[in-house]
Amino acid sequence: MTGESMRERMLAGELYIADDPQLGLDDARAQRLAHRINTTDPTDGATMRALLTELLGGYGEGSLIRPPLRCDYGYQTTFGARSFANFGLICNDVATITIGDDVQIGPGVQLLTSTHPLEPGPRRDKWEAARPIVIGDNVWLGGGVIVCPGVTIGADTVVGAGSVVVRDLPAGVLAVGNPARIVRHLDPQATVRSVDPQTIAQHDEPRV
C-alpha cells in the first residue's frame, strides 16, 4: 500500500500501519511544533496562540493550554473556546479528539484514541487502529484522568482525579474510579450561592 493510502486508512478509522512515510512526515511536523510550544516563554501569549493554532485542528478563542503538550498529529485535535488544559496534556490523536467549549482539564490528563489487535500475529505485523474521543462542553477532567478509545463524555460532567474512563458517560454526572463509575447526578440549576464550599473539598471531587 502507498503512504497516502495508509494515511487515508488511519483517518477513516481502519486498520493501518504507522511505520509509513507520509504519516512519518505528519508526525515529525507535530513533534517540531510541540517542541516549539514546550520551549517558548509561556508568558508570550501571542506566540503560543499562533503555534497552537498551527498545530491543532482548531483552537478556540479565550482558551489556554499550559505546556508541556504532547500529541501524535495535532490536526486531529480540536480545542473549543474558553477551555483550559493544565500542564502535561497528552493527546494521542490517531483518531479525532474533540474538546468542547468551557472545558477544564487537570494536569497529566491522557486522551488515548489508539487501539491494537489482541491477536499476536496482526499486532506483531504492526497493524493498529483508533477510535475518536469527544469531550463535551463544560466538562471537568481532574488531574491524571485517562480517557480510553471511543469514549464520549457528555456536557457538564465531572470526572474525578486519577479516574480511567473506559465507556461513555452521560451529561451532568460525577464519575470516579477505575473504571470510572457514576456516583451522582449534578444539579443543573445550582448557582454559586447554592454550592456548599465543604463539598468542593470532598475526596471524590477532581482536582484541576
Q: Which residues are catalytic?
A: 116
- Is pTM beyond 0.85 here? yes
Share of the chain residues as helix, strand and coil, in percent rounded to the nearest 5: 25, 25, 50
Who's near 57: CB < 8 A, 6+ residues apart?
74, 75, 76, 77, 78, 96
Q: List beta partners, residue 41.
A: none
pLDDT at residue 191 in the model: 79
Instruction: Decide if 142 contacts 207 (C-beta within 8 A).
Output: yes
pLDDT at residue 85 in the model: 98
pLDDT at residue 5 in the model: 85
Ordered structural domains, the chain, with CATH: 3-200 (2.160.10.10)
Instruction: Decide if 179 contacts 160 (C-beta within 8 A).
Output: no
Instruction: Decide if 146 contacts 165 (C-beta within 8 A).
Output: yes
pLDDT at residue 2 in the model: 52
pLDDT at residue 162 in the model: 97
pLDDT at residue 193 in the model: 65
Residue recorded with cell 501569549: 45
Counting as low any pLDDT under 70, the low residues of the chain are: 1-4, 193-208
